[in-house]
């Protein structure tokens, strides 16, 4: 399952760079080894809004009762948006696999290859993936990612017949892009 999740993350990331964009941070919650779906952060404003928006990715995992989560983000993008120093390799696609017991940080550094430049100045890029360093059990996570990991395993208590369903609706209304697997579709 892990290799499939890494593959999807890299493919999605590569496609977005080719279109001149950097994908927003993403969470993939799992319940008993089954993928709940893929949820991308809402549009983020620099600073506190970005910190909050990334941490709120945890809501879907908590509402689903996830026992594992995978969070995906780009080092430089999250540091810039959250107004934090760049920590670790950059540019780098990061994936963290987390459970209640701890997490393992996986980093996939790359070089940017310019494919083309648009008339408005945006660049179409392709990642040239470099060798990945060894996975880092308990590796340092930037604050909003650490918050998302921590909050993913705190049950959400909503007085509603379908706490998961209402969480999905509220997150979509806030601008999060939610793509659920068939097993978890509301």
What tens digit of pLDDT does each residue of 15-36 get?
998 888 888 999 999 999 999 9
What is the token pair recorded at 144? 């909003």
Residues 105, 134: Cα–Cα separation, whole Å: 9
Least confident of 88-92, 148-152, 159-163: 159-163
Mean per-residue pLDDT for 113-132? 86
Q: Which residues contact 16 (CB under 8 A, 6 or more apart)?
A: 22, 23
The confidence score (pLDDT) of residue 93 equals 96
pLDDT at 39 over 90: yes
pLDDT value, residue 76? 92
SS3 state of residue 101 = coil
pLDDT at 133 over 70: yes
Q: Report pLDDT for 36.
A: 96
User: In this structure, are strands 92-99 and 102-117 parallel, antiparallel, or unpaired?
Assistant: antiparallel
> pLDDT band for position 177 (50/70/90)?
very high
Share of the chain above pLDDT 90, in %: 75
- Whole-angstrom distance, CA of residue 70 vs CA of residue 142: 15
Q: What is the pLDDT, as a whole number, of residue 64?
A: 95
Please report how the helices 143-151 and 48-55 are oriented relative to each other, as an axis angle in degrees rounded to 10. Answer: 30
pLDDT tens digits for range 46-96? 999 999 999 999 999 999 999 999 999 999 999 999 999 998 888 999 999
Q: What is the mean pLDDT of residues 144-155?
A: 97
Cα angle 90, 94, 96; round to 5: 150
Stated pTM of the model: 0.92
Instruction: Kindly tell me if the per-residue pLDDT of 186 is higher than 70.
Output: no
Rounded to an integer, what distance in angstroms lies between the CA atom of residue 34 and that of residue 173? 25
Among 109, 100, 94, smallest CA distance to 139 is for 94
The pLDDT of residue 20: 84
């Amino acid at each position: 399952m892990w290799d499939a999740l890494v593959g999807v993350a890299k493919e999605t990331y590569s496609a977005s760079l080719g279109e001149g964009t950097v994908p927003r941070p993403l969470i993939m919650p799992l319940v008993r080894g089954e993928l709940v779906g893929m949820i991308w952060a809402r549009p983020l404003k620099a600073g506190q809004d970005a910190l909050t928006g990334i941490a709120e990715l945890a809501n879907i995992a908590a509402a689903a009762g996830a026992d594992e989560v995978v969070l995906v983000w780009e080092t430089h993008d999250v540091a810039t948006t959250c107004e934090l120093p760049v920590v670790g390799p950059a540019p780098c696609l990061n994936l963290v696999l987390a459970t209640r017991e701890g997490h393992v940080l996986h980093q996939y550094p790359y070089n940017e290859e310019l494919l083309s430049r648009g008339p408005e100045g945006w660049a179409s890029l392709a990642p040239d993936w470099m060798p990945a360093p060894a996975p880092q059990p308990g590796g340092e996570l930037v604050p909003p990612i650490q918050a998302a990991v921590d909050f993913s395993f705190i049950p959400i208590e909503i007085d509603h017949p379908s706490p998961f369903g209402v969480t999905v609706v509220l997150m979509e209304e806030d601008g999060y892009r939610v793509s659920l697997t068939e097993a978890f579709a509301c």
